[in-house]
Amino acid sequence: MTDLFSDYRLTIDGALVDAGKRIEVINPATEDLICTVPSAGFEQLNEAVAAAKRAYPAWRATPLAERQRMVAALGDAIEVHAEDFMRLLTMEQGKARAGAEWEIGGSVAWCRAIAEQSLEPELVEDGPERRVETLRVPLGVVGAITPWNFPLLLAIWKIAPALVTGNTMVLKPSPYTPLCTLKLGELAREIFPKGVLNILSGDDALGAAITSHPDIAKISFTGSTATGRKIMASAAGDLKRITLELGGNDPAIVLPDVDPKQAAKDIFWAAFQNSAQFCVAAKRVYIHNDVYDEVRDALVEYSSTVKIGDGAQQGTDLGPIQNRMQYEKVKDLLADTAALGVSVLTGGAASKGPGYFIPVTLVDNPPDDSRVVREEAFGPVLPLLRFSDIDDVVRRANGTEYGLAASVWSADTEKARAIAARIEAGTVWINEVHIFGPHIAFGGHKQSGMGVENALEGLAEYTNPQTIITKKVAV
Ligand code: NAD
């Protein structure tokens, strides 16, 4: 086992392996170097894929109950090392301890719950002449690629269903947050047969090489829509299966019958959890004219109670932006927003540093065609928008290429459900947000993704249907 902040290795074919090239891992709260980790090259990718391919027949033939047991054991191992993961996650990702606890606890729970899922054969026909059954068979080697906002949980969302269904895997975390995932690889070595789960930290070029590798059958990707498009094009070369969980620009619609103070608090966390680096953060808040001023003022007031700082420190509610690239993007959006001439109610300018800190920024009713409304900020910059007509707000909410999630807030849940039914998004929450579960299908509509994760539908994404038709009369 490595020291918590040094000696990280790739996991290839059950062995811990180094690489000549290194990636620097930066603490976003201080901009200090935490450590360097190996940056896998194409040769190491080939070795990892070859190992996963070798391991596949025996893993596929391993009884389901055994595979399930090992995936649950991975959850147990995360639980045993929860405090290490807490330190790693708060330091490399920047998130506050409460968020890290949620992510680590979720990872344990997901391993255990997915380990109880299975896809039973479907008996389609059983007549005098023939028996027709559809089975779900694994695909082979899965290539998984994850982003930097929830590095541990989003890896588990891929590892658990892929391995339970009998696939083997090569997984690449984001170069910005490789530590938790490399540690996961070390723990996995003690649980799974060699080659079943290979972990390669590496840059974007390694990601691209995974998506075009001829011995990889499927890509499961979570990240930006721009990268998702490239992956879909690359995977077309040999018709790889794909699951894409991409970006979002989630609308929240606040009806006039809400309690403004409670709604403001709920909307605050819907928008700013994980410092708004959340694919399903509320990113545009449409507030009915009748309560706009009250909700807006309550939001500003609540914002002033929230503590921004180093996620590793007790008492911090929101951490920094995870990396300099994203920090610069958010600052650029702030500059564009300042030039609009609309009122910025709180925040508006990055703090001086060190650390990639952006204060909570609330923008008062910017135009619908401004960048702060149209783009996914992926940082704590939130436009508040007035509406007075339901048809109009539904049209505006749907007026985006994205369709990940949405929320509707109202004392009248029937009314809210009627609006939810008109929203073009994979998930619509009513009077709450960010409820996920191993049994709840999650996936984006439109350019927010393709396919789903979680639930039996998510499990099925790691399989091909295979129909066996048996003639009953002897030949
Ligand atoms: P990103 O697309 O830049 O990177 C994600 C991963 O893809 C990284 O591991 C990166 O190295 C790799 N990558 C980059 N270029 C690649 C290429 N050409 N081929 C293959 N892999 C490549 O995304 P990010 O900035 O890390 O994450 C932020 C984005 O992720 C946001 O848009 C957010 O909304 C989205 N996201 C979506 C979900 C979801 O479930 N829908 C969850 C979390 C984040």
Report all structural domains of the chain as residue ranges with CATH numbers, in order of start: 10-246+444-468 (3.40.605.10), 250-430 (3.40.309.10)
pTM of this structure: 0.97
The reported pLDDT for the residue numbered 2 is 58
Q: Which atom of ligand 1 is nearest to the CA of 210?
A: 20
- Along the chain (475 residues), what's the average pLDDT of each consecutive run of 10 residues? 82 97 98 98 98 99 98 98 98 98 98 98 97 98 98 98 99 98 98 98 98 98 98 98 98 98 98 98 98 98 98 96 98 98 97 94 98 98 98 98 98 98 98 98 98 98 98 83
Q: For the chain, what's the residue count?
A: 475
The reported pLDDT for the residue numbered 404 is 98
Alpha carbon distance 451, 158 (integer Å): 13
Q: Which atom of ligand 1 is nearest to the CA of 230?
A: 18
The reported pLDDT for the residue numbered 353 is 85
- Report the residue among 204, 231, 280, 378 best suited for mutation to probe ligand 1: largest number of ligand atoms under 8 A from its CB: 204
- Report the residue among 199, 222, 240 best suited for mutation to probe ligand 1: largest number of ligand atoms under 8 A from its CB: 222
Rounded to 5 degrees, what are φ and ψ at 226?
-60, -45
Centre of ligand 1 from the C-alpha of residue 263, in Å: 31
Alpha carbon distance 242, 398 (integer Å): 25
- Report the residue among 227, 242, 440, 454 best suited for mutation to probe ligand 1: largest number of ligand atoms under 8 A from its CB: 227
Q: Which atom of ligand 1 is nearest to the CA of 234?
A: 19
Alpha carbon distance 326, 220 (integer Å): 23
Alpha carbon distance 270, 276 (integer Å): 9
Centre of ligand 1 from the C-alpha of residue 223, in Å: 2
Catalytic residue list: 245, 279
Asked if residue 41 lies in contact with residue 19, where contact means CB atoms within 8 angstroms, the answer is yes
Alpha carbon distance 167, 292 (integer Å): 51
Centre of ligand 1 from the C-alpha of residue 229, in Å: 11
Centre of ligand 1 from the C-alpha of residue 224, in Å: 4
Centre of ligand 1 from the C-alpha of residue 140, in Å: 23
Centre of ligand 1 from the C-alpha of residue 245, in Å: 9
Alpha carbon distance 81, 76 (integer Å): 9
Q: Which atom of ligand 1 is nearest to the CA of 175?
A: 11
Alpha carbon distance 162, 164 (integer Å): 6
Centre of ligand 1 from the C-alpha of residue 365, in Å: 30
Shortest-distance Cα residue to atom 26 of ligand 1: 147
- With H, G, I as helix, E, B as strand and everything else as coil, classify residue 173: coil
- Report the residue among 149, 356, 446, 461 best suited for mutation to probe ligand 1: largest number of ligand atoms under 8 A from its CB: 149
Alpha carbon distance 409, 253 (integer Å): 6
- With H, G, I as helix, E, B as strand and everything else as coil, classify residue 132: strand
Give the Å distances, CA to CA, from 167 to 58, 270, 339, 422, 460. Answer: 10, 35, 51, 37, 12
Ligand 1 site residues (CB inside 6 A) read 145-149, 172, 174-175, 204, 207-208, 211, 222-224, 227, 230-231, 245-248, 279, 376, 378, 404, 444, 449
The reported pLDDT for the residue numbered 351 is 87
The reported pLDDT for the residue numbered 248 is 98
The reported pLDDT for the residue numbered 410 is 98
